[in-house]
């Protein structure tokens, strides 16, 4: 159809008003459409933080007063029998020096077992980290698809994984067999050592009896005391009752007590019997030693030969006591070593089994090719591997907490000086029972001045003896700092203005003439510090139902939550990230995301 220009011109003149309206509507439509498109293309204005390595340091601040240094009274934090007292009044001691200990064999064993638990838990971490890395790599492969040569390599990988699993299982069997043999040998050695020590104890009783009948067989006090001690020793060693004045032939005919236990242990070798024999033998030898000590060694009544025999028997008893003690420790040590060896071998089997499963899954996926469903399956497998790794890390933290608790209990059985100074009191003796927090040892510090401050209960759990501290004094301003350390934390609370606090004492590391009694001290305690760890601002963390998450984006438009595990929290608002993000990864400030 042909239109003449004049006809178009006449049409516009006749419909001028309608044309204007249509033009305006068209312009509005174009403007609104452009705005919508621009708004869709505009990226959200997120606030990002790039994960980096740094230092996390805890700080606790307090205010106190400078005071003249006072003596420190040390006490055990638990009750028990005193095992060692390493100082006497007047001795000079150094900070950190052990002053006394309680009998703590069971606590030491708990620490050893907890330490083994930590190592066992850590051994699983590498296995799960490898599984996560493998699942990530496999997800990439699934998305890309597999070539024929890759399928051939996967088949070879499966065969190799099967062989490695078979080897790991054989190694586990061999490890268990060796552990059983080693433990049986240790128990056999213990049973034989107990029997040998009993015989040596009998020889010593023979010597004591000969000397008793030669010089101390009357009814005087000296003879009665010796007879009573001998009766205890005979009862412990062979089971005789009221045997204080028995001749040796009667003693040698008895087979009860430690002797009976040792004979039973040799006939029926097991952990219960052997430990019973060793412990009873140890107790009997101690009683024999005590009987030897009652014989007046320096008296002129004894002949030179008798004195020589007594000295020899004392040496024999001490040697056997050391040997028996070592055998008891050897059993505990071998048991722990066996547990660790078997755990490591089992871990190798688990690793080999996981590797075989992963290799078989990989082969199946490569043969089937990549479908959307398979990609989702592999993504789920990756999430499961990451969850297993997170669980394994939680087990490590749990094991570390158990080790810390066991170590804390062990430390309660030890008194160590927190200062350099001189011992002024020793109120405990070896073999006596010490009560918890009862007076034990006092030390006068060499320092002239210290600082006392009341720490709120919210912070006291973070502080420990020996924690480094920085102190400024109001008299000299914030630029003049003095190094100090925590030397005492009172176990009893002190209520200040309705708040429970604990009096904490500090000692200056270096003497300084500027320090005066009565000065106001501003204290910064540094209980913890970690360097070279991944850190993020705490305000970037979202906590829901006890789980910590951070926000990330893959397209710079939409966000998703990523689970993270956190460690130490610093005083500057930064927090350590143990797992979940990598260095260089960007996370989003939740407050910058529009609802």
pLDDT category at 459 given cuts 50, 70, 90 is confident
- Residue 190: give its domain's CATH number: 1.20.120
Among 217-226, 356-365, 446-455, 550-559, where is mean pLDDT lowest? 550-559
Closest CA to 269 of 321, 325, 331, 324: 331
Domain membership of residue 66 (yes or no) is yes
Distance in angstroms (rounded) separating the CA atoms of residues 568 and 462? 11
Q: Is 10's pLDDT higher than 70?
A: no
Distance separating the N- and C-terminal Cα atoms of the chain: 57
pLDDT category at 165 given cuts 50, 70, 90 is very high
Q: Is 173's pLDDT higher than 90?
A: yes
What is the predicted pLDDT for the residue at 532? Answer: 86
Q: Are 71 and 442 in contact (CB under 8 A)?
A: yes
What is the predicted pLDDT for the residue at 265? Answer: 94
Q: Is 431's pLDDT higher than 80?
A: yes
| Overall average pLDDT of the 140-149 stretch | 71
Domain membership of residue 157 (yes or no) is no
> Any idea how long the chain is?
595
pLDDT digits (tens, 9 = 90+) for 101-129: 998 887 787 888 888 888 887 777 878 87
**10 Å Cβ neighbour count for 386?**
18
What is the predicted pLDDT for the residue at 404? Answer: 76
Say whether both 29 and 62 belong to one domain. Answer: no
Domain membership of residue 13 (yes or no) is yes
Q: Which has more confidence, 510 or 140? A: 510
Q: Is 434's pLDDT higher than 60?
A: yes
Say whether both 189 and 317 belong to one domain. Answer: yes
| Overall average pLDDT of the 69-81 stretch | 84
Q: Output the DSSP codes for 42-91.
A: SPP-PPEEE-EEEEEEEEEEEEEEEEE---EEE--SS-EEEEEE---TT-
pLDDT category at 68 given cuts 50, 70, 90 is confident
Number of domains in the chain: 3
List the alpha helices (DSSP H) in 412-517: 457-460
**10 Å Cβ neighbour count for 434?**
23
Domain membership of residue 578 (yes or no) is no
What is the predicted pLDDT for the residue at 19? Answer: 61
pLDDT category at 268 given cuts 50, 70, 90 is very high
What is the predicted pLDDT for the residue at 210? Answer: 93
Closest CA to 392 of 199, 193, 565: 565
- Given 300, 322, 339, the domain boundary residue is 339
Q: Is 167's pLDDT higher than 90?
A: yes
Say whether both 287 and 428 belong to one domain. Answer: no
What is the predicted pLDDT for the residue at 169? Answer: 95
Q: Which residues of 221-232 are buried (b: 16+ CB within 10 A; e: fewer)?
A: eebeebbebbbb
What is the predicted pLDDT for the residue at 367? Answer: 75
Domain membership of residue 197 (yes or no) is yes
- Given 339, 356, 381, the domain boundary residue is 339
pLDDT category at 205 given cuts 50, 70, 90 is very high
Say whether both 296 and 442 belong to one domain. Answer: no
Q: Which helix (H) or strand (E) holds 564?
A: strand 559-569
Where do we find the tokens 């699983």? 124
Q: Which residues contact 400 (CB under 8 A, 6 or more apart)?
A: 118
Domain membership of residue 560 (yes or no) is no
Say whether both 317 and 427 belong to one domain. Answer: no
Full residue range of the structural domain in which residue 16 is found: 5-41
- Residue 511: give its domain's CATH number: 2.40.30.170
Helix, coil or strand: residue 569: strand
| Overall average pLDDT of the 63-76 stretch | 86
Domain membership of residue 303 (yes or no) is yes
What is the predicted pLDDT for the residue at 14? Answer: 60
Among 334-348, 359-373, 455-469, where is mean pLDDT lowest? 359-373
Q: Which has more confidence, 366 or 502? A: 502
What is the predicted pLDDT for the residue at 79? Answer: 82
Say whether both 33 and 71 belong to one domain. Answer: no
pLDDT category at 558 given cuts 50, 70, 90 is confident
CB-based burial label for 165 (10 Å; 0-12, 13-18, 19+): buried
What is the predicted pLDDT for the residue at 80? Answer: 86
Q: Give Dmax (Cα) for the chain.
A: 158
Distance in angstroms (rounded) separating the CA atoms of residues 485 and 447? 12
Among 132-136, 372-376, 574-578, 588-592, where is mean pLDDT lowest? 372-376
Say whether both 308 and 194 belong to one domain. Answer: yes
Mean of pLDDT over the chain? 86
Report residue 303 as tokens: 């002949």
Say whether both 484 and 509 belong to one domain. Answer: yes
pLDDT digits (tens, 9 = 90+) for 289-347: 999 999 987 778 899 999 999 999 999 999 999 999 999 999 999 999 999 999 999 99
Closest CA to 280 of 228, 327, 247: 327
Say whether both 26 and 86 belong to one domain. Answer: no
pLDDT category at 352 given cuts 50, 70, 90 is very high
CB-based burial label for 516 (10 Å; 0-12, 13-18, 19+): exposed
Say whether both 201 and 334 belong to one domain. Answer: yes
Q: Is 75's pLDDT higher than 80?
A: yes
pLDDT category at 187 given cuts 50, 70, 90 is very high
What is the predicted pLDDT for the residue at 12? Answer: 56
Cβ-defined contacts of 163-170 (< 8 Å, 24+): 164/352, 164/355, 164/356, 165/349, 165/352, 165/353, 165/355, 165/356, 167/352, 168/345, 168/348, 168/349, 168/351, 168/352, 168/353, 169/349, 169/352
| Overall average pLDDT of the 408-420 stretch | 86
Domain membership of residue 19 (yes or no) is yes
Q: Please report, rounded to a whole number, the percentage of residues in the chain having pLDDT higher than 90.
A: 41
What is the predicted pLDDT for the residue at 283? Answer: 95
Say whether both 85 and 14 belong to one domain. Answer: no
Distance in angstroms (rounded) separating the CA atoms of residues 537 and 534? 11
pLDDT category at 201 given cuts 50, 70, 90 is very high
- Given 506, 529, 552, the domain boundary residue is 529
Q: Is 172's pLDDT higher than 70?
A: yes
Q: Which has more confidence, 245 or 561? A: 245
Write down the pTM of the prediction: 0.43
What is the predicted pLDDT for the residue at 8? Answer: 55
Q: Is 414's pLDDT higher than 60?
A: yes
Say whether both 193 and 308 belong to one domain. Answer: yes
What is the predicted pLDDT for the residue at 339? Answer: 93
pLDDT category at 384 given cuts 50, 70, 90 is confident
């Amino acid at each position: 159809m042909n239109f003449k220009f004049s006809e178009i011109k006449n049409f516009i003149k006749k419909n001028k008003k309608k044309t204007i309206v249509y033009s305006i509507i068209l312009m509005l439509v174009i403007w609104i459409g452009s705005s919508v498109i621009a708004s869709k293309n505009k990226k959200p204005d997120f606030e990002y933080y790039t994960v980096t390595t740094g230092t996390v340091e805890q700080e606790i601040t307090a205010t106190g007063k400078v005071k003249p240094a006072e003596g420190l009274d040390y006490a055990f934090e638990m009750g028990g029998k005193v095992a060692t007292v390493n100082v006497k009044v007047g001795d000079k001691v150094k900070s950190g020096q052990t002053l006394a200990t309680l009998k703590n064999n069971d606590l030491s064993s708990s620490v050893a077992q907890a330490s083994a638990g930590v190592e066992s838990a850590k051994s699983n971490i590498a296995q799960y980290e490898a599984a996560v890395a493998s699942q990530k790599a496999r997800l990439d492969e699934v998305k890309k698809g597999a070539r024929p040569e890759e399928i051939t390599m996967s088949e070879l990988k499966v065969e190799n994984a099967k062989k490695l699993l078979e080897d790991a299982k054989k190694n586990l069997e061999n490890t268990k067999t060796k552990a059983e043999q080693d433990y049986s040998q240790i128990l056999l050695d213990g049973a034989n050592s107990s029997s040998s020590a009993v015989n040596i104890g009998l020889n010593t009783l023979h010597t004591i009896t000969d000397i008793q009948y030669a010089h101390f067989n009357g009814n005087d006090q000296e003879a009665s005391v010796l007879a009573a001690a001998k009766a205890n020793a005979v009862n412990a060693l062979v089971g005789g009752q009221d045997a204080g004045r028995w001749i040796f032939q009667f003693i040698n005919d008895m087979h009860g007590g430690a002797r009976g236990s040792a004979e039973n242990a040799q006939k029926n070798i097991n952990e219960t019997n052997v430990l019973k024999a060793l412990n009873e033998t140890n107790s009997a030898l101690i009683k024999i030693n005590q009987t030897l000590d009652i014989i007046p060694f320096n008296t002129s009544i004894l002949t030179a030969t008798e004195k020589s025999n007594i000295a020899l028997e004392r040496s024999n008893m001490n040697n056997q006591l050391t040997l028996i003690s070592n055998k008891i420790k050897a059993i505990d040590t071998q048991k722990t070593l066996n547990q660790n060896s078997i755990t490591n071998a089992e871990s190798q089997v688990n690793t080999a089994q996981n590797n075989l499963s992963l290799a078989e899954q990989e082969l199946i996926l490569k043969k089937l090719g990549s479908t959307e469903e398979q990609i989702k399956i592999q993504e789920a497998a990756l999430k499961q591997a990451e969850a297993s790794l997170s669980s394994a890390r939680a087990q490590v933290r749990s094991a570390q907490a158990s080790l810390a608790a066991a170590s804390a209990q062990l430390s309660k059985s030890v008194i160590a000086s927190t200062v350099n100074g001189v011992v002024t009191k020793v109120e405990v003796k070896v073999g006596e029972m010490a009560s918890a927090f009862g007076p034990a040892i006092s030390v006068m510090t060499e320092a002239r001045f210290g600082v006392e401050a009341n720490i709120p209960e919210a912070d006291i759990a973070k502080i420990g003896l020996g924690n480094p501290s920085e102190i400024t004094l109001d008299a000299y301003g914030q630029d003049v700092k003095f190094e100090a350390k925590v030397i005492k934390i009172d176990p009893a609370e002190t209520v200040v203005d309705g708040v429970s606090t604990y009096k904490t004492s500090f000692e200056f590391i270096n003497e300084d003439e500027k320090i005066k009694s009565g000065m106001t001290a501003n204290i910064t305690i540094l209980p913890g510090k970690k360097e070279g760890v991944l850190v993020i601002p705490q305000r970037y963390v979202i906590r829901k139902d006890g789980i910590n998450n951070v926000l990330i984006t893959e397209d710079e438009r939409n966000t998703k939550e990523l689970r993270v595990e956190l460690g130490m929290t610093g005083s500057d608002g930064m927090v350590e990230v143990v797992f979940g993000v990598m260095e260089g990864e960007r996370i989003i400030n939740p407050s910058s995301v529009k609802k």
